[in-house]
Structure 1
C-alpha cells in the first residue's frame, strides 16, 4: 500500500469503508490518572507512547514497574510507554500530542510546549472546561497559544481506572473539518486519531463538532456537583434523573448559542459523559456535591485534602460565559451560588424547583408563576 489510503465499499449496506493511517508516535502531556490511562490506551493500540510529567519518582515507577503508583496503583500498564520528565525528549518526532492537564494550568503548559512542538502536529484536548476570565473554550486558548496546529478534543464517559483496566469504553474525538477533510475524511486528524487509539476495548467515534463536544465536557461537571448535592441531602433517583435531563438541556442551549449542535449533546461527549459523572462518586465532581449535601464545609471535604475538582472551577467560567451571551442556565447558576456566593444549599434548591413553570418544547413558549415560589422580599 506504500502509505496510501485504501477505500472499500461494503456490499451489505452501501457505506464506504475507508482505512486511515494511524499516528505511530504519540506524546501524552500529563502523568495523572487520565493521562496514564490514555497512554495505556494508545500503547494497547500499538502506538509508541511518550508520557510526560514533572515527577521523576512517578516516571521511574512507570518505567521500572509498569505502575503509576500514585494515581493508578492497581493497574499494570502495557509495554510501549516511556515516561519522561524531559519535555523536548518527550516531544521529539511526535506525530500527535494529547493534552491531559488541569484546565486551569493549560495556558501555562502550552507556553512550555511551544519551543519543542513538531511543526503542524495535531493537539488533542483531554481536559475539560472554559477558561475563567476570557470565557474561551479550551480549543480557542490552545489555538491562541500554539497557532499552526490542528486542535481537537477527546471526550466521553470515561473513568480512568475502568479505561486502563480494559473495560469496554467509548469516547468521541472531535476536530473541526476543513474542506479537504470532507473530501477525504480518512485523512482528517479526527479519523487518524480514532484509528490510532482504537483497540478491542477502546472505541472512539469521530465528530466535526468541536464546540459541542467541549461544551458537553465543561458543563457536565457542574451538573454532577448539583446531582451530588441533592444525593447527599437525602433525595433519591427522581431528583437525580430530573437534574440530568434538565442539565442536558442547559448544555444544548449553550452549545447551540456558540455554534455547536444539539445532536452532539445527546451523544457520548454529552449525555454519555453526563450520565456517568452524575451517577457515581468515582467522579470527584459528584463526590464533592455529596459531601456538601451532607452538610460538610468545603474545607472538610475529601478529608481535608486539597483535591482539584474541575466542576468547582467550571461553575464560575460556565456561568460567566452563559451570562455574557444571554443563555439561562438555572442549575449551573444554583451550583455557582452555593459554591461561590455563600448561598444556602437547601434554600437554593427549593428556589430552583419553584422557578416559573415552563414548557419543555421551547417552541411552545409558556411560562407560569409557580404557586410555591417565595415572594421577593423587595416587592
Structure 2
C-alpha cells in the first residue's frame, strides 16, 4: 500500500496525510480551496489549520479530485461526518476499484442514524471488508508536531487493517488493529458529546471531580449503547474508547471541549459557532443522532440527552447539571 489519497485538508486530514508521508507513503492531499493546495505545494504548510507545522516532501496537494484519486490504493476520507455522504457521492465514480476506504470522521449521521463506515459502504457500494476507520486520541496538532501517540485502525478484514497499520506507522504514531468497527466508531462519536458536557462543566467553574464523574459516566453510557448494537465491551476500555474520551474531554485543543466551555459560560449556540471560526465541533450535531439511536435501541444516555437539550432546545447548562444530579439514585452497574 504505497499510493494513498487523503480527501479533506482540514486539521486532522492534513495531520494524517503527514503521518502517511512520514511513514514513507506517496500521499496526495485533496483540498477544496485552491489557496490551501497552493500553500502545501509551495510552502510545505497549511497555516490556517496547522500553523507552524512543516509538511514533508512526500506529501503533495491538489484541488483536482480525479487526479488525486488516480491509482490510489487507499482513500482516506477526512471530511466532517454530516457532509460525508454528499462528498463521497461526488467522488464515487472516481474511486479506484478495490481501494481501501478509510474514514477519519467521528459521528453518527443525522436522519439515517448510520455510523460513518455504514455511510461509506452504502454510498460507495462496497463490502464492509473494504472499509476501515481510524479512532483513538487523535488531537491533530499534537500529532502534526510529532508528539507520541497511539491509535486504532479498525476493519472487519484483519489483514487489511494490518496493511493500513504498516502504512501509517512512524516513530511518533503507533497504530493498533481491531476488528470491532462498531465499538471503535461509537467510541469516537460519543466522546465528542461527552467532551461538550465536560466543556460546559468547565465553563460553569466546576473542577476535576466533576470532570472525572462526567468522563466515567459518559463512558458507561457509551458502553451501554455499544453493547446494544453489538460492540465488543473491551473496545471501550481501549484507545478508541477511554483513550479518545480522556484526550477529547481534557485537552484545550479539543474543539468539542472548547465549544462546550463557551456554552457553559453562557454563550448561545450561534455565538459559540462564531467563536469556532469555521472549525467543526462534531458533537453539536451528533448529540442528536446519538440520542435518537439510543432511544431506538432502548438505551438510557442522560448525558447525550442533556447536551442535546442545551445545544438544540435552549436549556441552560446549569439546569442540565442539576437535572443530571437529580436523577433517580441507583447502583453503579445497573
Tell me the TM-score normalised to structure 1 length. Answer: 0.85
Query: Which of the residues 35, 45, 52 maps onto 1:57?
Result: 35
Query: Which of the residues 22, 34, 44 maps onto 1:66?
Result: 44
Is 1:323 the counterpart of 2:295? The answer is yes
Query: Hey, what does 2:284 align to over in structure 1?
Result: 312
CA distance in 2, matches of 1:307, 1:41: 21
CA distance in 1, matches of 2:316, 2:35: 43
3-state SS of the aligned residue for 1:295?
coil
3-state SS of the aligned residue for 1:127?
coil
Shift of 1:304: 7.4
Superposed CA offset, 1:342-369 (max 9, x none) = 222212211101111111223xxxxxxx
Shift of 1:285: 0.5
Query: Hey, what does 2:126 align to over in structure 1?
Result: 148
Change (3 A) 1:306 1:79: closer
Is 1:168 the counterpart of 2:126? The answer is no
Matches within 5 A, 1:1-12: none
Quick check: 285-294 or 141-150, which moved more? Answer: 141-150
Query: Hey, what does 1:87 align to over in structure 2?
Result: 65
CA distance in 1, matches of 2:323, 2:79: 36
Query: Which of the residues 225, 236, 240 maps onto 2:196?
Result: 225
Superposed CA offset, 1:208-264 (max 9, x none) = 000000000000000000001011101100000000001001110111111111110
CA RMSD of aligned residues (A): 1.2
Matches within 5 A, 1:147-226: 147-148=125-126, 150-177=130-157, 185=158, 188-226=159-197
3-state SS of the aligned residue for 1:358?
coil
**Contact 2:186–2:226, Cα closer than 8 Å, also in 1:** yes
Query: Hey, what does 1:377 align to over in structure 2?
Result: none
Shift of 1:68: 0.5
Query: Hey, what does 1:10 align to over in structure 2?
Result: none
**Contact 2:85–2:119, Cα closer than 8 Å, also in 1:** yes
Superposed CA offset, 1:93-127 (max 9, x none) = 10011110001110011111111111111111101
3-state SS of the aligned residue for 1:115?
helix
Is 1:118 the counterpart of 2:96? The answer is yes
Query: Hey, what does 1:347 align to over in structure 2?
Result: 319
Superposed CA offset, 1:113-152 (max 9, x none) = 1111111111111011001001111111111111235111
Structure whose residues are more often helix by fraction: 2
Superposed CA offset, 1:69-104 (max 9, x none) = 211121001111110111111011100111100011
Q: How many residues align?
A: 331
CA distance in 1, matches of 2:276, 2:18: 31
Change (3 A) 1:305 1:197: closer
CA distance in 1, matches of 2:214, 2:231: 22
Query: Hey, what does 1:18 align to over in structure 2?
Result: none
Query: Hey, what does 2:9 align to over in structure 1?
Result: 31
Long gaps (5+) in structure 1: 1-22, 178-184, 363-379
> For the pair shown, which has the larger CA radius of gyration, 1 or 2?
1
Query: Which of the residues 85, 96, 116 maps onto 1:107?
Result: 85
Query: Hey, what does 2:211 align to over in structure 1?
Result: 240
Shift of 1:191: 0.4
CA distance in 2, matches of 1:352, 1:62: 46
Long gaps (5+) in structure 2: none
CA distance in 1, matches of 2:138, 2:148: 10
Structure 1 segments (4+ residues) deviating >3 Å? 302-307
Query: Hey, what does 1:358 align to over in structure 2?
Result: 330
